[in-house]
Amino acid sequence: MKEVRLAEAIEGTSGAVLTAPRASRKARETREKLIEGALLALCEDGVTGITTRKIAERAGVQLGTLHYHFENKDMLLLAVLDMLGARLARTLRLGVAGSRNLDECIQRALLTDWNATEENFAIQLVQYELTLYALRTKGAAWMAQRQYNDYIKAHNDVFAPHAPGNDQTTAENVQRLSQLVMAGIDGIILQELAAPDLARSRSAVRALISAMQALARSLGLIPA
């Protein structure tokens, strides 16, 4: 388990990190194939069961090619985490587009989050595994952190336009709302993964929506 070098990760925002700057089209495609292959392999065997050979096979690529594109296995897995995070944030943005007020926006955001999960539990499981994996990988804890903060920020960016006023207090309250929304949905997802019970989880999501709307109201983010 080699320590991840931070040098390559100076580029600011998500999605771009871990992507070699100078790369031909073919190379970028192969890279993409490897990441997708890794995701496939992860869905099947999880972080503990994954091997570079399985990844290469799933990607339809020779083992050596993997090491040409990625310094080591860690970097590849972290690239998968990065991709998943970006993908989820994009889904969220699309899901809430067109909301007319904060009430609706909260509802849509949570339903989007939940539906994304329900569509593919395996990927959601992989996401958690990789987040914990990043926390464990020496020099990569910041990736888990950035991933989480980015996702909170995604919610934040989506809620903020619907909040009244641009003052500091409002911003802080929106931030608080985003954090609790994230925490709530994460907890429900985790519960569903560990002890599947779709009806229960859906009802929990509905309860969470109400609770978060109530919270927004009590924070003065929704006019009474």
Partner DNA sequence: CGGTTATTTGGTCTATTGACCAGTTTTGCA
Partner DNA sequence: TGCAAAACTGGTCAATAGACCAAATAACCG
Largest CA distance in the chain: 62
User: 8, 67, 211, 217: which one contacts DNA (CB under 7 A)?
Assistant: 67
User: 37, 39, 69, 160: which one contacts DNA (CB under 7 A)?
Assistant: 69
Tokens of 209: 């929506």
Alpha-carbon separation of residue 64 from 24, 29, 52, 53, 74 (angstroms): 18, 16, 10, 10, 16
SS3 165: coil
Stretch binding a copy of itself (CB under 8 A), from 40-48, 96-104, 110-118, 155-163? 40-48
Identity of the residue, 115 or 203, whose beta carbon is nearer to a copy of itself in the bound complex: 203
Identity of the residue, 49 or 161, whose beta carbon is nearer to a copy of itself in the bound complex: 49
Q: Residue 155 and residue 157: Cα distance in Å, rounded? A: 6
Q: What is the DSSP string of 57-89?
A: HHHT--HHHHHHHSSSHHHHHHHHHHHHHHHHH
User: 23, 97, 135, 214: which one contacts DNA (CB under 7 A)?
Assistant: 23
Q: How far is the CB of 176 from a copy of itself (least distance, A)?
A: 7
162 binds DNA (CB under 7 A): no
Stretch binding a copy of itself (CB under 8 A), from 26-34, 95-103, 104-112, 185-193? 185-193
Binders of a copy of itself among residues 112 to 151 (CB under 8 A) are: 125, 128-129, 131-133, 135-136, 144-145, 147-149
Q: Are 188 and 204 in contact (CB under 8 A)?
A: yes
206 CB-side CA count, 13 A:
6
Range 96-99, long-range pairs (CB < 8 A, 24+ positions): 96/158, 99/162
Provide the binding-site residues for a copy of itself, judged by CB under 8 A: 1, 45-49, 125, 128-129, 131-133, 135-136, 144-145, 147-149, 152, 176, 179-180, 182-188, 190-191, 193-196, 200, 203-204, 207-208, 211, 214-215
